[in-house]
Each structure stands twice: as C-alpha cells, then as structure tokens.
Chains A and B, each alone.
Chain A
C-alpha cells in the first residue's frame, strides 16, 4: 500500500463521470431495453424459433472452437516453446497475427480462399464440397480469429516452466507422453482454463468474420450476433435486445470466472 492518497473523491468522480456514458451506461441500456416490455415480452422474444436457433448455434460453434483451439493452441505453444529452429520468430508472429487483423478482413480472405472462386474452393467445387456459407465455414472463421488466445495463455507458462522438472521426469524413466501428461500439463492448468474461456467468449461474440462467411441464413448459419444485427436492422429492437441481453449476461459470467481463477494478478 504505497502511494495511495486520501481525498481521491474528485479524481475518482471525474473518472466515473467520463466512463459513465462511454462504458457503463451502454451496458445498462441493453438490459433496460430488453426488459422494457416486461419479463413476458422478454421471454417471448427469446422463445422464437430463430432466436433459439441463433443462441444454440452460437454456443455450439463456441464449444467446438474452444475444444479444437485448446488442443491446437497448446500443441503450437509446446512446439514453439520447446524447439529452437530457424524461422521460429516469423512463425510465432504469423500465428499471433489474427489478434491484429480486422475480422472483416479475415472473412474476406477466407471467402477468397475457400469460396467458389477461391484457390481451395475451385478444387472442392467439383467434389460438391463448399465450406463457405455453411456451419463449417463459420467454424473455420472462428478457429482463425480465436487461435492466438490459447497460445497467449499457455506459452508464457511453458516458457517459465523450469526445464529441470522435465529432466527429472525423464531421468526417472518417464516417457515423452508421461512427462507431458504428469509434469507439463498440470503446470499449464490455469493457462488452459483461461485460454479456453477466452476462446469461448470471443467465439460467442464474433461478428466481423462470421457475417462474411455465413451467408446469414436463419435456422442454418445465423449466429446470435448476426441475429441481433439482422433484427435490429429490421427495426425489431425488442427481439434484438433480448438476445443481446443473454449474450451480455453470458459474457459477464465468463469474465467473472476468468477473474476468479486466473486473471487476478493481471488486474
């Protein structure tokens, strides 16, 4: 407790005053509008076939994305942390790039690669395969966009992990897999947990890339964020807000767990 001054009322008040319209009030507005028509209207808006599909589809994609990227991301982190090779840095930068690329650009590039006019798309077309504008296309986009989160959560832990533990494990006669399973994996638990949650949360809210590759088909490829956008554009603010409130609540819960279990020291 050093440097904390008393009489912070004024600066804190100013900060809250500035943040109120920037962050706090918009969050509140979603809930105020969602429940504006009473809980009956809110539930009715949520119970439509389209809203239910959009929520389930978003969750499903988020689960799949989190599961796949948990494995892929941990593997990538392990390879990058344990091996020294030429081109290591460029590779590390490249796979972290999705954080910085605008998601709409991701969508466009996926379309250009996998779409009917794209490089892979042209090869797949004669086989009757067309991943774009299908759930597979949405999954591809989400895997791309959320890839770095797992890596970012796990790799720092692997970098800090003392080599001596691993060496001890090998000395005691453990194999590669046993070492990974009983020495490395337990040390990564926190990172795996927060990485998976972060991936899940980002997938749940992904919009820019999804809107490009999904075709926005109701009951087939319309995720919850796309549903919100489509309903809002169509002037059905109540429908849009009901699903928005659910997404916001889910993200609060996820954020709460992130803070509770891993992120404490970072804040």
Chain B
C-alpha cells in the first residue's frame, strides 16, 4: 500500500475518533447548555429515605406534592432523593450529605443524628404522631407452596432452614426484625421474656445464610434464589405479591412488630427562603391524600381509618409496637446489644 493512502486513512480514522469524542461530549453536557427557551433550574429539596421508600416517594408522594405546590404557588419544585439502608443514610447525614429531610426506618437513627449534633434532640417528636409517618408489620416470605412449612418466627429455628436477613449494623429493618423475632417469643412466655427471646434469636440467627446491607438488598438476594425464607417489611413484598410477581408468598406470623418510620427535618441545611416550602411538605406527608398514597403503596397509615383502602393487608393476631418494650433506647440497649450482639452472635461465633 502506498504511504500516502495509509496516512489519509489514518487521518480519516483520527477524524472519526475526534468526531465520536465530540458527539459524546455534546451528549454529556446537553442538559446544562444554556439554550434559549430553557427554564431556570427549579427549587430543589433533598430528601433521603430508607431503602423500601423509593417507589412510594419518587413516583407518588413527592410528585403529588410538587403538583399541588405548583398549583398554589406557580413554582416548580424538584426532588433530589437517595435511598439506602436506614443506618447507611444516617451515617451519610452525620458525615454531612446535603439532606434536608430524611425518613428513617427507626427512631434510633434519629437519636443518632441528634447525638451527632445534626438535629436538635427530640425535634422529631414535635411533628405529628411523634414523627412517625407510616407503619408496616414484619412478615416472612417463603418459597411458593411453603415447602418448609414455615408459619412463625420460631419455625426458622428448625434444622435445615436457611434464612435471608438484613444486617442490623446498617439496616433499620433488620433491627425491627430482631425485635419481631424476640418480641413474638417474649410475649408468649410472660415471666421469662428475656430467656425466651434469647432462645428465639439464637434459633433464627443460627440459620442466617446471607446478610444484606438493607431490607431491599436482602429481598433482592432472596429473589435471586438465596435461602428458604426472608424476614422483611410487609410493604416491600405486598405490591409484588398482589400482582403475582413475587417469587414466593407472604406468611403472617401470629405475633409480630409494626415498624414505625420517623421523619427528621435537618434545619441547618434549609435556607431561610425554602422554609415555607419544607413546612408545607412536612404537613403534606401527614395529610389524607399523602397517607392514602402510602396506603396504596402498601404502608399502613398512622390514621387507622384509611387502612381499609388496601384489601391486600394481612391480618395479624397479636401486633405489637416498640413502645410495648419500652421504646428504642431500651430495646437497643437490652435486646439488640445486650442479647443479640453480646450473647447470640458470640455464641454462634459469626
């Protein structure tokens, strides 16, 4: 091949490469180009939430608020959101992510934020319902047809049962699950609660084969074929179960805990100009329309009267709350740390 031809070919290739690079760059910067006719960036609210809230907030509740806000003020508002295990979210906020609102899966995480100086101690208790936006019971998800015949937390202790469980170090849901497993046994054995609870936890945790960082991640593991049973929020599996898309079925233990999800407002990340907007949003979360949207997405409303809206909700004989065990401060100290971490995990040697 004559040299001239080869140079012109490599020139052509170089040109094509440069053009491809430019096209890629143009694609990347396109939304930020200040072209005429483009609206200014709208006001933004940064909202963090624990793992299972993603769809309910991103697709229903927040867009509905944005629509109403636009209707009353004429102003667009954009939501920047991030969802992960409640403990992960809490750690990120303590480290300074720009969260303005956060919906955490347990009050304990709110207290950790208060201890880190991010929010005023107890500030969430001044919100409606003590800061609790919605609830959901803890349930078991088993493989179709329930081949291992599992009906209660105590059945998870049977030999050969493989349990998928979120990790209590990073997942709020995992802490609720611990309380559910402990509480169900404790309530059945009045007088020797803590021994019965300890034995129940030991039985379950001997069989934990996978620990994911969040309840949502645990569910993904279960759906990918790990384990015989998953301990999780009813809400997270209710929608798919109703649509027949859940690769398993929900089992309601006779006695289980109703988790309560706490909202925190991080005042120091909210500019003065945005305060009315945030205040309106906070109020909206407890309003009937928002609560109905949560119910439609499988959360149980703090307004019991609305829970009839969702016929998929299962019945639980003996539901209990964290308050029945003295609140999260006590549960964390006595059950999560005192029994699960110091006794159960040491004995199992994980």
Q: Is B a genuine binding partner of A?
A: yes
A residues engaging B (CB < 8 A)?
A: 52-53, 55-57, 59-60, 63, 111, 115-117, 121, 130, 132-134, 215-220, 222, 230, 232-235, 253, 257
With contacts A216-B82, A220-B80, A235-B216 taken as known, whether A56 is within 8 angstroms of B30 at the C-beta atoms is yes
Q: Which 4 A-B pairs have the closest CB atoms?
A: A59-B28, A116-B96, A215-B97, A60-B28
Mostly, the B contact residues are helix
**Which residues does chain B contribute within 8 Å of A232, judged by CB atoms?**
220
Given the complex of chains A and B, what is the CA–CA distance between A116 and B17 in angstroms?
42
* B319 CB-CB contact with A under 8 Å: no
Q: Across the interface, do A215 and B82 meet the contact criterion of CB distance under 8 Å? A: yes
With contacts A59-B25, A59-B28, A219-B80 taken as known, whether A133 is within 8 angstroms of B97 at the C-beta atoms is yes
**Which residues does chain B contribute within 8 Å of A253, judged by CB atoms?**
20
Which residues 75-95 in B have Cβ within 8 Å of A in the complex? 78, 80-84, 92, 95
Residue interface bits B14-35, CB-to-A below 8 A is 1, else 0: 0001001000110111110000
Given the complex of chains A and B, what is the CA–CA distance between A55 and B217 in angstroms?
23
Given the complex of chains A and B, what is the CA–CA distance between A217 and B99 in angstroms?
10
Q: Which of B25, B78, B214 contacts A63 (CB 8 A)?
A: B25
Q: Across the interface, do B81 and A235 meet the contact criterion of CB distance under 8 Å? A: no
Given the complex of chains A and B, what is the CA–CA distance between A59 and B30 in angstroms?
11
Q: Across the interface, do B95 and A111 meet the contact criterion of CB distance under 8 Å? A: yes
Q: Across the interface, do A235 and B223 meet the contact criterion of CB distance under 8 Å? A: yes
**Which residues does chain B contribute within 8 Å of A111, judged by CB atoms?**
95
* B219 CB-CB contact with A under 8 Å: yes
Closest to A200 in B: B21
With contacts A233-B214, A234-B54, A257-B17 taken as known, whether A215 is within 8 angstroms of B98 at the C-beta atoms is yes
Q: Across the interface, do A60 and B29 meet the contact criterion of CB distance under 8 Å? A: yes
24 contacts between A and B (CB under 8 A): A53-B31, A55-B28, A56-B27, A56-B29, A56-B31, A59-B24, A63-B28, A111-B95, A117-B96, A121-B96, A130-B96, A133-B92, A215-B97, A217-B98, A218-B81, A219-B78, A232-B220, A233-B51, A233-B213, A233-B216, A234-B54, A234-B83, A234-B216, A235-B223
CB distance from B5 to the nearest CB of A (A): 18
CB distance from A199 to the nearest CB of B (A): 13
Given the complex of chains A and B, what is the CA–CA distance between A253 and B96 in angstroms?
38
Given the complex of chains A and B, what is the CA–CA distance between A253 and B78 in angstroms?
36
* B46 CB-CB contact with A under 8 Å: yes
Given the complex of chains A and B, what is the CA–CA distance between A130 and B20 in angstroms?
35
Given the complex of chains A and B, what is the CA–CA distance between A230 and B219 in angstroms?
14
**Which residues does chain A contribute within 8 Å of B25, judged by CB atoms?**
59, 63
Interface size on B, residues (CB 8 A): 30
Given the complex of chains A and B, what is the CA–CA distance between A257 and B20 in angstroms?
12
Q: Across the interface, do B217 and A233 meet the contact criterion of CB distance under 8 Å? A: yes
Q: A217-B81, A233-B213, A234-B220 are in contact. List 18 more A-B contacts (CB 8 A).
A: A55-B28, A56-B29, A56-B30, A59-B25, A59-B28, A60-B29, A117-B95, A132-B95, A133-B96, A215-B92, A216-B92, A217-B46, A217-B80, A218-B82, A222-B82, A233-B214, A234-B51, A235-B216
**Which residues does chain A contribute within 8 Å of B31, judged by CB atoms?**
52-53, 56
Given the complex of chains A and B, what is the CA–CA distance between A117 and B95 in angstroms?
7
Q: Which of A56, A116, A216 contacts B84 (CB 8 A)?
A: A216
Given the complex of chains A and B, what is the CA–CA distance between A215 and B93 in angstroms?
9
Interface centre among A53, A216, A222 (most CB of B within 10 A): A216
